[in-house]
């Protein structure tokens, strides 16, 4: 009898040791929306569904609310996928953050085919249609995405700036978005703002200029695809600088790759994890230090490591772990870094 009990206890211990750790719902640790991104193809994946609805309270369409999906080559629109994402968000009590109205990277064939005044009219109509369709549901829109040049020196020259003027294309986009959706917080969104202080400074000067010009910029989006090798303090310094406008701030696409592309990498796995969790904790703590009204949302760019854009394509070595959950759905050390900072 005694030995049967001992065996049963032993079994229970073994089960407790091998059972995956159940993480507390991330959204329950934060007084602001905690976001992730979604593609309609993920809605049928039970593990994705469970994690996305348990931990997150806001959803950004990963690509199906962008020009590349909605706008067809002949100027017609298709709304099936973005409408499904919006309906999914409503159905699961998730706030919707919409992206993207104008993005240099999407120099769409339809716009390329237009000249003269027609370009401006169609530009306005695109923004009116997309922002108007989700008005009342979208809490915010990324109105202009990635306007600052890669090296941080000046602004990107693109199809839209060439047709409508540098700064002019942005001011017009913000005005049109405001007219189509009077309530959504309208964001200027960019990346490498923490990683490259020069780019961060150019971005903030642009925000200042657009506000002075009367553009209804309502929020600052910092994508936060973090370079985990930047010096300590650089991330927090950018967040503090950005906060000076008093506008809501969105950490809009956080991920933190362990990979170093194109160079010999002598770091051990532990060193990489330590760098990652330190930088992510710094960002999260800097966000937590903002006045509550400036914490728009804290969004990660995907649920599991295997959902990440960093795990697609040629550069993928199958090992990167840039997100909060691993392929089995278990929380990663990065989850603990974020959850820990939310709880402090
Ligand atoms: O992760 C997104 C990927 O699935 C899309 O194919 C791509 C183009 O729409 O956009 C990716 O997301 C990008 C985001 O919209 C802007 N910042 C960089 C993100 C990663 O490339």
> For 144-197, how does the pLDDT look when each residue is reduced to its tens digit (9 = 90+)?
999 999 999 999 999 999 999 999 999 999 999 999 999 999 999 999 999 999
pLDDT for the residue 17 = 56
Tell me how far the alpha carbon of residue 321 is from its chain's centroid.
17
Cβ atoms within 10 Å, residue 20: 10
Predicted pLDDT of residue 7: 43
Which residue out of 141, 226, 253, 309 has the highest number of ligand 1 atoms within 8 Å of its CB and is therefore the one to mutate? 309
- For 5: left if phi > 0, alpha if psi spans -120 to 50, otherwise beta; the answer is alpha
Instruction: With beta carbons less than 8 A apart as the criterion, state whether 327 and 305 touch.
Output: yes
pLDDT for the residue numbered 317 = 84
Check residue 159 and give its pLDDT.
98
In this structure, the strands spanning 219-222 and 249-256 are parallel
Angle of the 116-133 helix axis to the 168-180 helix axis, nearest 10 = 40
- Whether residue 192 contacts residue 255, with contact meaning beta carbons closer than 8 Å, is answered with no
Instruction: In whole angstroms, give the CA distance from residue 44 to residue 162.
Output: 42
Residue 261: what pLDDT? 80
CATH 3.20.20.80 fits 33-259+268-343, yes or no: yes
What's the pLDDT score for residue 315?
Answer: 74
pTM of the model: 0.94
Ligand 1 centroid from CA 301, angstroms: 9
pLDDT single digits (tens) 242-267: 999 999 999 999 999 999 987 789 99
pLDDT number for residue 6: 44
For residues 89 and 42, the answer to whether their CB atoms sit within 8 Å is no
Q: CA angle at residue 145 from 142 to 147, to 5 degrees?
A: 140
Q: Sign (positive/negative) of CA torsion 73, 79, 81, 82?
A: positive
Q: Ligand 1 center to residue 14 CA distance, Å?
A: 42
Please state the atom number of ligand 1 nearest to the C-alpha of residue 145. 16
Q: CA–CA separation, 344 vs 334, rounded Å?
A: 16
Closest CA to 281 of 235, 248, 214, 237: 235
> Is the beta carbon of 223 within 6 A of some atom in ligand 1?
yes
Q: How confident is the model at residue 263, as a pLDDT?
A: 78
- Comparing CA positions, the residue from 253, 272, 274, 281 lying closest to residue 317 is 272
The residues of the chain scoring below 50 in pLDDT are: 1-16
- Residue 101 three-state SS: strand
In the reported structure, the alpha carbon of residue 309 is separated from the centroid of ligand 1 by a whole-number distance in angstroms of 7
3-state secondary structure of 196: coil
For 273-336, the DSSP string reads: HHHHHHHHHHHHHHHHTS-GGGEEEEEES-SBGGGSGGGSSTT--S----SSB-TTSPBPHHHH
DSSP string of 220-281, one letter each residue:
EEE--EE-TTSPTTHHHHHHHHHHTT---EEEEEEEE----TTS-----HHHHHHHHHHHHH
Q: How far is the CA of 1 from the centre of ligand 1 (A)?
A: 61
Q: DSSP assignment, residue 92?
A: T
Q: Is 69 in the pocket of ligand 1 (CB under 6 A)?
A: no
- How confident is the model at residue 18, as a pLDDT? 61
């Amino acid at each position: 009898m005694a030995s049967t009990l001992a065996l049963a206890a032993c079994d229970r211990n073994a089960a407790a040791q091998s059972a995956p750790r159940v993480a507390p719902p991330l959204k329950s640790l934060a007084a602001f929306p905690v976001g992730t991104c979604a593609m309609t193809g993920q809605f049928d994946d039970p593990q994705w569904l469970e994690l996305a609805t348990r931990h997150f309270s806001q959803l950004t369409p990963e690509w199906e609310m962008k020009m590349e999906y909605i706008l067809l080559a002949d100027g017609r629109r298709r709304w099936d996928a973005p409408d499904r994402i919006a309906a999914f968000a409503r159905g699961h009590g998730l706030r919707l953050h919409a992206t993207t109205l104008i993005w240099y990277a999407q120099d769409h064939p339809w716009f390329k085919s237009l000249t003269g005044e027609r370009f401006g009219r169609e530009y306005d109509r695109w923004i009116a249609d997309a922002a108007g369709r989700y008005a009342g549901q979208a809490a915010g829109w990324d109105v202009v995405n990635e306007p600052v040049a890669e090296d941080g020196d000046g602004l990107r020259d693109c199809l839209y700036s060439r047709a409508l003027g540098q700064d002019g294309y942005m001011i017009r986009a913000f005005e049109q978005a405001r007219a189509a959706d009077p309530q959504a917080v309208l964001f200027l969104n960019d990346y490498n703002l923490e990683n490259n202080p020069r780019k961060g400074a150019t971005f903030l000067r642009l925000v200042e200029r657009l506000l002075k010009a009367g553009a209804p910029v309502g929020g600052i989006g910092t994508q936060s695809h973090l370079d985990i090798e930047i010096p300590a303090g650089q991330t927090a310094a950018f967040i503090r600088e950005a906060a000076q406008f008093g506008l809501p701030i969105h950490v809009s696409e956080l991920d933190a790759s362990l990979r170093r592309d194109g160079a010999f990498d002598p770091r051990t796995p532990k060193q990489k994890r330590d760098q990652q969790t330190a930088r992510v904790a710094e960002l999260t703590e800097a966000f937590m230090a903002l006045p509550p009204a400036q914490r728009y949302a804290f969004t990660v760019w995907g649920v599991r490591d295997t959902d990440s854009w960093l795990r697609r394509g040629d550069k993928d070595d199958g090992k990167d772990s840039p997100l909060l959950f691993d392929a089995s759905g278990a929380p990663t050390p990065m989850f603990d870094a974020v959850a820990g900072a939310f709880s402090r």
